[in-house]
Chain A
């Protein structure tokens, strides 16, 4: 009973079809991972966020451990748009997997300008990092509020014909309203979500464990939050949702798909096991074959849930 019905792993993200639903989360992936496995097995390549100019990033320490996860305050070190165009983009031209370029900025104008400038041949889609909590003071990012989300996504939409993905933040209290605002402004897909703002103190020195004082939590500890938001946003929007947050195992992948994700991003798990994405792709194919599932459509959004209550 093997391979009687070949499994189709392809994932549809709007007009794009990825050969499988597993891709890296921005900031946890670079050409350096090609030392470990063939990166063309991935559904897409999502690069670390770039900004228009050069930035050195945050002071060290930039990472610390926590139970079932980590925190980071890297601060988006960026070599700028020229380096991206002249060095980064040519490197990825040798790969067949679609290239997703993550961008961010401090202002709407700068964001829009960068969006236009990275809409280059070889770029498949643009991921707008409107949620990185390290950039704006106290974690305030565009995606904290529906109005600022709508404003920036509208401007980005006007600057590019490429598929535009908006990466949302779990730090907002209005995830559904923010998701709807991004959709209304013309986003083609949502990434749900980014790191959750946190903090850690070394009690012996009374110093924060991160040079930036606060940082973004990631890893298995935040998975239930990302899963809940994926469920909420997928129900509220017609555009595809790409789940992101603590995904490390095959069960995690399937859980996000059932909750409504059309694909997933894997981030922190790669730091523990650099080969995890390649393994997840193979495990998903094996699981679907064993279950007699032919395509992802038979999994995505198939949650058997009563209407969620407003109280818990």
Chain B
């Protein structure tokens, strides 16, 4: 026990319980999952593990060779386990921040801020759930599977990818009792025109009470259309470039359609989870 994870000390808290904290974690493992993704497992203090599916952390990424990521990088939670003191992120190496993440080795210290934002809801009358997501968006939705199982809901997970072997989180979804349907680009099953009959057949057979999605604007539009036709609500986790992650800087705004008005919301604060019907 050479490096106990700690919360970064703040001198005066006067009995206030922070909603989120800056914490030093320890890297347990950081390994490739397939050709495109890596899984980062952290030993994390209990105080930051009261998470909701869909929430995110701001990661202080180490600098990779020749690059200088300065701002924290927002990353949705892939897994969290308060009892085990574990926090997990599934990421794709795409820029300076994630290239820095890829350099983390077991035993390294790693500073995170969170949990942040508003997570997914699962309303009482949402019994039959359908998750439709693509690529790394599936990582964001992964914690939903455990939540669905804990609440005794039925979950169908439609996992979209370029190739069948790149579909993320399939084993995880199945381990929490979800029915998994893999669709991919190679046989065209991931195209919206192929997905529409698949989803509508499921609505006709068993009913769908709510959709969840992340990671594809085409899937968003498809679910907005199907949801509007059948009166099915849903939620989407969205992304935007961020600086503070707390709501202070106003960098991460996006437009939303509310009634006949277009309004701005901060992805970090009012989101990252929003109603599918209002997303643009």
Q: CB within 8 Å of B: which residues of A?
A: 27-30, 32-38, 40-41, 48, 56-57, 60-70, 72, 74, 77, 219, 270-275, 278-279, 281-282
Contacts and interface: CB of A to CB of B under 8 A. Distances in A.
Interface string B246-274: 11111111100000000010000100000
Contacts of A62: 241, 250-253
Contacts of A57: 250, 253, 264
A64 B20 CA distance: 24
Contacts of A278: 10-12
Nearest to B63: A67
Given A56-B264, A65-B70, A271 B243 contact: yes
Interface in B146-172: none
Contacts of B18: 35-37
Nearest to B14: A38
B211 to A, nearest CB: 26
Contacts of B253: 57, 60, 62, 77
B249 A61 contact: no
Contacts of B249: 27-28, 63, 72, 74, 271
A219 B249 CA distance: 14
B12 A38 contact: yes
Given A28-B248, A57-B250, A274-B244, A67 B70 contact: yes
Nearest to A40: B14
Nearest to B116: A35
Nearest to A41: B12
Given A38-B16, A63-B71, A65-B96, 17 more contacts: A29-B248, A35-B18, A35-B19, A36-B246, A38-B13, A41-B12, A60-B251, A63-B242, A65-B68, A67-B70, A70-B70, A219-B70, A272-B70, A273-B111, A274-B244, A278-B10, A279-B10
Interface string B48-88: 00000000000010000000111110000000000000000
B189 interface: no
8 contacts: A36-B18, A38-B12, A60-B253, A62-B241, A63-B243, A67-B68, A70-B71, A274-B113
Interface of B: 8-14, 16, 18-22, 60, 68-72, 96, 111, 113, 240-244, 246-254, 264, 269
Contacts of A67: 68, 70
A194 to B, nearest CB: 15
Q: What 5 A-B pairs come out closest when comparing CB atoms?
A: A32-B247, A282-B11, A35-B19, A63-B251, A62-B251
Contacts of A271: 71-72, 243-244, 249
A247 to B, nearest CB: 15
A68 B250 contact: no
A36 B21 contact: yes
B113 A65 contact: no
B243 A70 contact: yes
Contacts of A27: 248-249
B210 to A, nearest CB: 28
Nearest to A77: B250
A281 B68 CA distance: 28
A36 B264 CA distance: 24
B248 A33 contact: yes
A303 B154 CA distance: 70
Contact of B8 (A30, A275, A282): A275
A13 to B, nearest CB: 22
B216 to A, nearest CB: 19
